[in-house]
């Protein structure tokens, strides 16, 4: 190796050592004390406050003038939209990715160097790049050099990557996307590796199996390898996902490699990366929506929160009672919380279980709230469930959220167990059905009357409520079949009339029957009660419970051909 090359290597290595020790690139956000998603108004207010505090005319303390200069430099970057974008993407207000340890005369004369842009490799060295970087108190010589690409290779006939391979190990020391030194490379190198563990590479198979229709929201980044700023976009979506951990997943699509997938999704690569959200806000099956807002954590997170699933119905207790009698085959779960809006965790769960459970949420002030009292809840937040047969269960009380991910995992286990219990009850009920009644699978469900759904089914808004009273499982099944069949027939005299149907377990609710009869109809295994809550009247049928007789009785009730008696008191439940 000739002396000239030896001298060159010595100078460059010396400069790199000097930069690593002396360079003090200042983060403008930290200088002004603002967050990275701060608005221009916040930046301006912080600048005015600090500039008044450190102005040389008012502050004579040592270092005040230097601090004042730093504040002005920081504000110059953050108040200029283009410079701020460059800094956010590359760490350099000029738009050069890599280090920036000096700023042309106002950063104490530190040296600076820059790495190559996207797609560059190797280094360029220009001996005429000497320049004055002196600052306010006199000039000093600093050396500026760049890590160039193949097109701008070293004019001295060697690749300085060989030097770095000796210093840091590896084959050549450079990646295709730029220098790995200081993570100063282009979009697909360097510090991007820190995001790879949390960003899933999406291909057609993964998209179909893990994204489509799974009920979980996805943040997706589309890019091509030569695009600038990919690393910045990745850091933004990873930070958003981290703050909402458990409620969404993060993936990226390389449209150069997965061109057919991008074409299928309608993603057309431009000159910058694009962010998409796979959301369930617009449809139950999910759809891909492009994010077009500013690429910062605050705005993206706000948009994602708005696009999280909303399958939980926010109701008042009266609204829930009005529809809860029609239980259907799916169990219901309700969250009681003091939150004004549906909590994020509950929204995420409503997406994951949207085809398996019916979700509700209701706001309560505290334990003194009438809804909490009616449901027998001892602590809030709480989750209450209803099986498809109408049975109520308090699933969890006094919920404490440690973090979203662990809380969602805990709730998933809770909801899975509740769903399994409902399936067992449904299977047990199905196995007890007579074969002759197999067609009843198509018939409407007849709910079990409880304190919770009483007002909705048999309240004053209902003209007539038909209650099938049973004392045995055989009696229950018989009444359920008959009432299911009758409820589908047109026995109503005119459109303004309305009738509801339900079942009552006399063995557990004897006090309820005492409101109608002193004996509580103890001599009857099965009977029908036609109840008019508005008039506090009733009529009972204790004859043969056959299809013909039941239909005849209900038809007579609706036609006004049956005598109604005054009730002893309002029905009560245990």
345-351: average pLDDT:
94
478 and 546 co-located in one domain: yes
300 and 323 co-located in one domain: no
For position 7, what pLDDT does the model report?
64
450 and 384 co-located in one domain: no
Asked whether residue 436 is domain-assigned, the answer is no
DSSP string, 361-403: EEE-SSTTSHHHHHHT-SSSSEEEEE-TTS-EEEEEES---S-
Domain with residue 26: its CATH number is 1.10.287.110
Total residues belonging to the chain: 574
467 and 505 co-located in one domain: yes
State yes or no: pLDDT of 16 exceeds 80: no
- Quick one: pLDDT band at residue 557, thresholds 50, 70, 90? confident
128 and 163 co-located in one domain: yes
Judging by DSSP bridges, how do beta strands 537-541 and 526-532 pair with one another? antiparallel
Q: What is the pLDDT of residues 377-422, one digit of tens each?
A: 999 999 999 998 888 899 999 988 778 888 888 999 999 999 999 9
Of 307, 324, 346, which residue sits at a domain end?
307
For position 171, what pLDDT does the model report?
35
For position 200, what pLDDT does the model report?
93
For position 13, what pLDDT does the model report?
58
398 and 452 co-located in one domain: no
Domain with residue 543: its CATH number is 3.40.30.10
Asked whether residue 560 is domain-assigned, the answer is yes
State yes or no: pLDDT of 144 exceeds 70: no
Percent of the chain with pLDDT over 70: 72
Judging by DSSP bridges, how do beta strands 287-291 and 313-314 pair with one another? unpaired
Higher pLDDT, 43 or 425: 43
Asked whether residue 368 is domain-assigned, the answer is yes
Asked whether residue 509 is domain-assigned, the answer is yes
State yes or no: pLDDT of 111 exceeds 70: no
For position 125, what pLDDT does the model report?
36
Range in 199-213, 261-275, 482-496 with the lowest mean pLDDT: 482-496
52 and 85 co-located in one domain: yes
276-294: average pLDDT:
90
Instruction: Report the C-alpha gap between 332 and 321 in whole angstroms.
Output: 12
Asked whether residue 437 is domain-assigned, the answer is no
Do you find a cis peptide bond into 381, omega within 30 degrees of 0? yes
Range in 79-88, 359-368, 492-501 with the lowest mean pLDDT: 492-501
Residues 407 and 401 sit within 8 Å (Cβ to Cβ): yes
Asked whether residue 395 is domain-assigned, the answer is yes
Q: What is the pLDDT of residues 175-184, one digit of tens each?
A: 333 333 333 3
419-428: average pLDDT:
85
Highest mean pLDDT among 132-141, 325-334, 389-398: 389-398
pTM to 2 decimals? Answer: 0.49
Q: What is the pLDDT of residues 518-556, one digit of tens each?
A: 887 877 778 999 999 999 999 999 888 888 888 889 888
Q: What is the pLDDT of residues 149-165, one digit of tens each?
A: 333 333 333 333 332 33
For residue 358, list its beta bridge partners.
Answer: 332
Asked whether residue 573 is domain-assigned, the answer is no
490 and 555 co-located in one domain: yes
- Quick one: pLDDT band at residue 455, thresholds 50, 70, 90? confident
For position 507, what pLDDT does the model report?
83
Range of the domain at 281: 192-307
State yes or no: pLDDT of 311 exceeds 90: yes
Asked whether residue 572 is domain-assigned, the answer is no
Instruction: Report the C-alpha gap between 11 and 343 in whole angstroms.
Output: 60
424 and 473 co-located in one domain: no
Q: Considering the chain, what is the average pLDDT of its residues? A: 76
Of 404, 431, 458, which residue sits at a domain end?
431
State yes or no: pLDDT of 473 exceeds 50: yes
Residues 363 and 339 sit within 8 Å (Cβ to Cβ): yes
Q: What is the pLDDT of residues 200-254, one digit of tens each?
A: 999 999 999 999 999 999 999 999 988 988 989 999 999 999 999 889 999 999 9
52 and 31 co-located in one domain: yes
Residues 305 and 297 sit within 8 Å (Cβ to Cβ): no
110 and 139 co-located in one domain: yes
Residue 392 sits at φ, ψ, to 5 deg, of -95, 145
User: CA 357, 363, 365, 369: dihedral to nearest 10 degrees?
Assistant: -60
The phi-psi region of residue 144 (left if phi > 0; otherwise alpha if psi is between -120 and 50; otherwise beta) is beta
168 and 201 co-located in one domain: no
Instruction: Report the C-alpha gap between 527 and 536 in whole angstroms.
Output: 19
Instruction: Report the C-alpha gap between 233 and 168 in whole angstroms.
Output: 28
Instruction: Report the C-alpha gap between 510 and 501 in whole angstroms.
Output: 19
Instruction: Report the C-alpha gap between 558 and 435 in whole angstroms.
Output: 32
Of 254, 280, 307, which residue sits at a domain end?
307
Assigned token pair, 161:
């990557």
How many domains does the chain contain in total?
4
User: In the chain, what's the furthest Cα-to-Cα distance?
Assistant: 120
For position 522, what pLDDT does the model report?
79
């Amino acid at each position: 190796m000739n002396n000239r090359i030896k001298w060159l290597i010595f100078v460059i290595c010396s400069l790199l050592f000097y930069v690593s020790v002396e360079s003090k690139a200042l983060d403008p956000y930290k200088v002004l004390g603002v967050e990275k998603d701060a608005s221009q108004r916040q930046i301006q207010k912080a600048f005015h406050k600090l500039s008044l505090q450190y102005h040389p005319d008012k502050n004579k303390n040592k270092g005040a003038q230097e601090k004042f200069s730093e504040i002005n430099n920081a504000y110059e970057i953050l108040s200029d939209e283009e410079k701020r974008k460059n800094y956010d993407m590359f760490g350099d207000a000029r738009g050069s990715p890599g280090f920036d340890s000096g700023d042309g005369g106002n950063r104490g004369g530190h040296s600076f160097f820059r790495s190559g842009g996207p797609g560059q490799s190797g280094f360029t060295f220009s001996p005429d790049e000497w320049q004055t970087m002196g600052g306010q108190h006199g000039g000093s010589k600093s050396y500026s050099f760049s890590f160039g690409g193949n097109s701008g290779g070293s004019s001295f006939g060697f690749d300085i990557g060989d030097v770095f391979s000796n210093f840091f190990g590896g084959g050549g020391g450079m990646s295709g996307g730029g220098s790995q030194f200081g993570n100063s490379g282009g979009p697909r190198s360097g510090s991007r590796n820190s995001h790879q563990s949390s960003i899933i590479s999406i291909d057609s198979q993964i998209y179909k199996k893990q994204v489509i229709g799974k009920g979980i929201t996805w943040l997706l980044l589309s890019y091509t390898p030569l695009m600038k700023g990919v690393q910045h976009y990745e850091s933004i979506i990873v930070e958003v996902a981290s703050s909402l951990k458990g409620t969404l997943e993060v993936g990226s699509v390389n449209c150069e490699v997965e061109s057919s997938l991008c074409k299928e999704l309608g993603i057309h690569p431009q000159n910058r990366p694009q962010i998409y959200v796979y959301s369930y806000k617009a449809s139950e099956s999910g759809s891909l929506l492009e994010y077009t807002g500013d690429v910062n954590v605050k705005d993206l997170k706000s948009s994602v929160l708005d696009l999280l699933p909303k399958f939980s119905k926010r109701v008042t207790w009266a609204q829930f009672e009005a529809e809860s009698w029609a239980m259907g085959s799916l169990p219901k779960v309700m969250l009681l919380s003091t939150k004004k809006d549906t909590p994020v965790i509950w929204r995420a769960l409503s997406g994951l279980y949207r085809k398996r459970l019916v979700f509700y949420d209701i706001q309560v002030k505290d334990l003194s709230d009438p809804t909490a009292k009616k449901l027998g809840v001892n602590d809030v937040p709480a989750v209450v469930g209803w099986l498809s047969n109408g049975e109520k269960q308090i699933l969890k009380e006094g919920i404490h959220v440690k973090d979203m991910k662990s809380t969602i995992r805990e709730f998933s286990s809770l909801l899975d167990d509740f769903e399994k219990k409902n399936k067992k009850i449904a299977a047990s009920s199905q196995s007890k059905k007579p074969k002759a009644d197999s067609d009843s699978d198509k018939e409407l469900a007849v709910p079990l009357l409880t304190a919770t759904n009483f007002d909705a089914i048999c309240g004053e808004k209902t003209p007539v409520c038909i209650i099938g009273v049973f004392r045995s499982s055989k009696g229950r099944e018989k009444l359920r079949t008959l009432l299911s069949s009758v409820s589908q027939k047109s026995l109503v005299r005119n459109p303004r009339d309305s009738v509801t149907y339900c079942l009552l377990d006399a063995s557990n609710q004897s006090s309820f029957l005492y409101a109608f009869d002193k004996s509580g109809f103890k001599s009857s295994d099965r009977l029908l009660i036609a109840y008019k809550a508005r008039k506090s009247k009733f009529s009972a049928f204790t004859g043969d419970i056959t299809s013909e007789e039941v239909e005849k009785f209900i038809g007579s009730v609706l036609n006004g051909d049956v005598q109604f008696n005054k009730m002893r008191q309002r029905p009560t439940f245990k």
